[in-house]
Structure formats: C-alpha cells, structure tokens
Amino acid sequence: MVQPARTLDEPNDKARLAVWKFTSCDGCQLSLLDCEDELLQLADCMEIAYFMEASSNPSPGPYDLSLVEGSVTTADEVRRIREIRAQSRVLVTIGACATAGGIQALRNFADVDDFIAAVYAQPEYIDTLKTSTPISTHVAVDFELHGCPINKKQLLEVISAFLHRRPPQVPPHSVCIECKMRGNVCVWVAHGTPCMGPVTHAGCGAICPAYSRGCYGCYGPKENPNTASLSHWWQRELGAEKVVLIENLRNFNAAAPDFEAESRRQEGGDGQK
C-alpha cells in the first residue's frame, strides 16, 4: 500500500499543516506533541493551521499537508473526509484506525446493533455506521503511515520528506528485519513463542520481542505477507490454538485486507471476503 508522496509543486513561504481526527483514541496525533525535541522547530518550518487538540485558533483551508487520524464510523465522517480531501494538496493517513479501520473495525465482523445494546441503555440515541473503514475507502490517500500507534520518528520522516519533496523512507519489510537489526533473540525460534513478526509491517523497532513477548501485529500487514504460511506454522509447529491466531489477526488492524482475509479463512469463511 506504499504510494509515492506527492510534493509541493513550487516552494511556498511556509507550508500549511492540518491535523484531523476521526474515530480514534487521539494517540497518533499525540505522537506529534510527543516530539518534544522537534515540535517548536517544526512549528518554525510549517504553519500549523489546523490542530484542534493543540490550538483553539483553527484557520480555514486550503492546506498543503493534512495528517488524518482515525477511521470512518459515522455518516458525518464520510462527508467530512471528502471536504478535507478537497482542501488538501497532500493527504497522509496516520495510524491503524486511519489505515485499517482500527480496533473499532471489530464491528465489521459482527452485528453492530449487538454492540450498541451491550453498551448503551438507549440504543436509539446512537448514530453510527455498521462498519469502521479506513480513510482510503472514501478518498484518495497520498501516503499511509501504519501503526497503533505510529512511530513518531517515522512521522517526522514523513513530514520531512514532504518538506523536502522526496518520497518518505518508510520501509515496507517485516518486523523480523527490524528484530535482526536490533539484535534480538528470536522469541519464536528460541522460546517457541507465537509471533506475528514475519507478516507485520516494520516501524515499531521490534519492541515486543525485545521485551520477551511475541509481536501482536499492531503495525498491520507488511507488503505481500504470507499469512497462510504463518497460520500453518503457528498451529502446526508452535501449537497455537486457532482462536488465538484469529485474535491476533483481528485486533488493531482487523480491516486490513490481508489480515481480514486470513482471519475469515481461518474461521471457515470464504477467505476472500
């Protein structure tokens, strides 16, 4: 899903940045405020024109770079993302919600009315779609940055690439590669711990194996993942229960096509959606 970034056609005085929130936990936009060493410098390079979590002075579009967090779960959000697209020269989605529907996409595998009834005493007050979908389902997206949450260094790389008019250097390989680069002992080989690393997109720095646990796939599928092989190995060689495998394919990136298809195949569905 990695696409080349579009860049500014001609130099501006200062590129205008907007940060948008859809259905989410706010964690990915918080990653920008967690850039403690770079935030003020960034504010020097760009005009932060719209960022409701950080400023009560939103300025109208158009915007040069829109960072979009969150998934689409209401009719109003469908309308709103189209408006934002129309006002944005470059639109980058950040995080598992925006790129793969987020944890709230678990509703896509069930009847959302059951969830509403489980949580709310007055279901008639609740206005929500039956699905949680990535931003790319609704509008064209110039670049997708994966992760639940995103890695703030990768976010700075994406912004920096935009400012320097080059494609972001965000490699599409698996967590396994990062694990080797970090010098981790393989938790799968050494301890027989089921790990999603072989099919999961790099970017986190392989922290779970570094903390003695298997990767649980929070960065979503890598480029061309062999999920069928992973399923085979988890169950046949590591003795993992099928339900555990499905839970790992179906958490924060449940609506990512590669994970969704494999989880449905394992469940005995058609596998091709």
Binding site residues, other proteins, CB under 8 A: 21-31, 33-34, 36-37, 39-40, 43, 48, 51-58, 73-74, 77, 102-104, 106-107, 110, 112, 114-116, 118-122, 125-126, 128, 148-149, 204, 207-208, 210-213, 216, 218, 243-244, 247, 251-252
Other Cβ atoms within 10 Å of 135 Cβ, number: 28
Is 187 exposed, middle or buried (CB count within 10 Å of its CB: 0-12, 13-18, 19+)?
A: buried
Backbone torsions φ then ψ of 99, nearest 5 degrees: -100, -20
Q: What is the DSSP string of 210-268?
A: HTTS----TT-B-SS--HHHHHHIIIIIS---HHHHHHHHSSTTTTSHHHHHHHHHHHT
Which residues contact residue 78 at a Cβ distance below 8 angstroms, ignoring those fewer than 6 apart? Answer: 72, 129, 138
- Shortest distance in whole angstroms from residue 128 CB to other proteins: 6
CA distance 113 to 220: 27
Which residues are paired to 17 by β-bridges?
48, 65
- Shortest distance in whole angstroms from residue 22 CB to other proteins: 8
Task: Please say whether the beta carbons of 43 and 159 come within 8 A.
Answer: no
Q: Which is nearer to other proteins, 3 or 45 (CB)?
A: 45
- Shortest distance in whole angstroms from residue 2 CB to other proteins: 22
CA distance 158 to 162: 6
- Shortest distance in whole angstroms from residue 74 CB to other proteins: 5
C-alpha closest to that of 160 among 175, 179, 172, 145? 145
Q: Which is nearer to other proteins, 77 or 178 (CB)?
A: 77
- Shortest distance in whole angstroms from residue 146 CB to other proteins: 14
Tokens of 23: 């259905």
- Shortest distance in whole angstroms from residue 175 CB to other proteins: 12
Q: Which is nearer to other proteins, 34 or 229 (CB)?
A: 34
Q: Which is nearer to other proteins, 64 or 142 (CB)?
A: 64
Q: Which is nearer to other proteins, 5 or 201 (CB)?
A: 201
Q: Which is nearer to other proteins, 2 or 116 (CB)?
A: 116
Q: Which is nearer to other proteins, 24 or 174 (CB)?
A: 24
> In one letter, which amino acid is 36?
E
- Shortest distance in whole angstroms from residue 117 CB to other proteins: 8
